[in-house]
Amino acid sequence: MTPVYIRKAGYSDPGLREILFDMLDACAGAAVGRGARVLVKPNLLMPAKPEQGILTHPSVVRFTVEWVLEKGGRPLVADSPAIGAFEKILKQGGYTEALSGLNAPRRPFRESIHVDIGKPFHRIELARDAMETDAVINLAKLKSHTHMLMTLGVKNTFGCVVALKKPEWHLRSGVDRDLFARLLVQIHQAVAPSVTIIDGVLALQGQGPGKSGDPRHLGILIGSASAPATDATICHMLGFLPDRLPTHRAAEALGVVPTDIAVQGDPVCITGFDLPTLSRLTFGPKPLQGIVRKHLTQRPMIIAGRCVRCGECVSYCPADAVTIGDPTVVFDYDRCIRCYCCVEICPHGALHAADTRPGRILRRLSQVLSRR
């Protein structure tokens, strides 16, 4: 049996610590003993405040660190942010304050080691801190994601790919969303967390996972020894079949979704969670796919008045498809591989993935035809 624990919770609940301790005891109690090195891996995507719903909440991180210390373990809090200085993220996100007084070093991943994650990717560089440790505690955030529908437990371990190696892998998987999902699952299997806890107290919906998303209070924590199990359970809770989630399809194909999931705890049913529309990235005959992608696939676009030309998207874009223009950045949609990294990392929430006019017409037409 693979239990998935669901508990209603709030960040200021006096019971939050006990809820987390119960989940950690149940899922990772055997993996964390006296002297064990334990990586605590939250989602620290970018500098953001807790009320923006982008990062794993500092209270969740603090109580997890307290649990590791109580077990006699040696916690390290680390991640590889997409943008922004690690110290700034700790300060703005409330982690500096939350972790004060606790014997827990925190640092960004720096060194990588080569790991063979299997076909077709084989050798990939992953954070040494994630691979040379006794246990990993995966503290993910419940968020929508313009490219992968949602970022949950499995995707959170992509943060173990250090710094600019991340966009490089986006480029290498190109426009193949399913291939990228397979990469995420294989990385997750290599990191092999002992437990995954997903912070869905303040979730993010709409054009997540960055500042273009909308925070939404759901008031839940979900935990399990299996991230594919937490992710599938969350899909059901939000009212859609897990098959819609690219990482779930990949996990199924790789045979790593448990068949004996047993949901325990508070029953929760969430309606109206706003998910992004994922348009197909390639379709039509191969010679025409470039044209089809350019004209029919959703593209990153500026939300009027928000771009301050900070240049972060220009530096991060794996395809060199963005340049600084006037009055905003300019996209080269021929080069753009539609990874939506720019939407994810824009510190000003100035971008969204938008349908082109012909793409919108085609989508409506196919919806009408599929209803017949």
Interface positions with ligand SF4 (CB under 6 A): 300, 307-313, 317-319, 321-322, 329, 331, 336-342, 346, 348, 350-351
Span between the terminal Cα atoms of the chain, in Å: 41
For 227, the token pair is: 């991230």
For the bound state, the minimum distance from the C-beta of residue 319 to ligand SF4, rounded and expressed in Å, comes to: 4
104 in Cβ contact with 38 (< 8 Å): no
For the bound state, the minimum distance from the C-beta of residue 315 to ligand SF4, rounded and expressed in Å, comes to: 9
**Shorter beta-carbon distance to ligand SF4: residue 68 or 149:** 149
Task: Provide the CB-side half-sphere exposure for 289 (13 A, CA).
Answer: 12
For the bound state, the minimum distance from the C-beta of residue 57 to ligand SF4, rounded and expressed in Å, comes to: 25
For the bound state, the minimum distance from the C-beta of residue 116 to ligand SF4, rounded and expressed in Å, comes to: 27
**Shorter beta-carbon distance to ligand SF4: residue 158 or 331:** 331
For the bound state, the minimum distance from the C-beta of residue 278 to ligand SF4, rounded and expressed in Å, comes to: 13
**Shorter beta-carbon distance to ligand SF4: residue 180 or 331:** 331
For the bound state, the minimum distance from the C-beta of residue 66 to ligand SF4, rounded and expressed in Å, comes to: 36
For the bound state, the minimum distance from the C-beta of residue 307 to ligand SF4, rounded and expressed in Å, comes to: 3
Burial 154-163 (b: 16+ CB within 10 A, else e): bbbbbbbbbe
Question: Can you tell me whether residue 325 is helix, strand or coil?
Answer: coil
What are the phi and psi torsion angles at 280 (to 5°)? -65, 140
**Shorter beta-carbon distance to ligand SF4: residue 99 or 307:** 307
Task: Please report the sign of the dihedral spanned by the C-alpha atoms of residue 268, residue 55, residue 111, residue 115.
Answer: positive
For the bound state, the minimum distance from the C-beta of residue 63 to ligand SF4, rounded and expressed in Å, comes to: 33
**Shorter beta-carbon distance to ligand SF4: residue 94 or 300:** 300
For 52, the token pair is: 């923006």
- Which of 51, 237, 80, 24 has the alpha carbon at shortest distance from 150? 237
Q: Rounded to whole angstroms, what are the CA distances from 176 to 246, 293, 326, 334? A: 11, 12, 32, 16
Residue type, 285: P
**Shorter beta-carbon distance to ligand SF4: residue 270 or 303:** 303
Q: How many C-beta atoms lie closer than 10 Å to residue 189's C-beta?
A: 17
Crossing angle for the helix pair 58-70 and 16-28, nearest 10 degrees? 50
**Shorter beta-carbon distance to ligand SF4: residue 153 or 318:** 318
For the bound state, the minimum distance from the C-beta of residue 169 to ligand SF4, rounded and expressed in Å, comes to: 12
**Shorter beta-carbon distance to ligand SF4: residue 131 or 163:** 163
CA pair distance 55, 139, nearest whole angstrom: 10
- Which of 198, 82, 46 has the alpha carbon at shortest distance from 137? 198
Task: Please report the sign of the dihedral spanned by the C-alpha atoms of residue 310, residue 96, residue 106, residue 22.
Answer: negative
**Shorter beta-carbon distance to ligand SF4: residue 226 or 279:** 279
CA pair distance 223, 1, nearest whole angstrom: 14
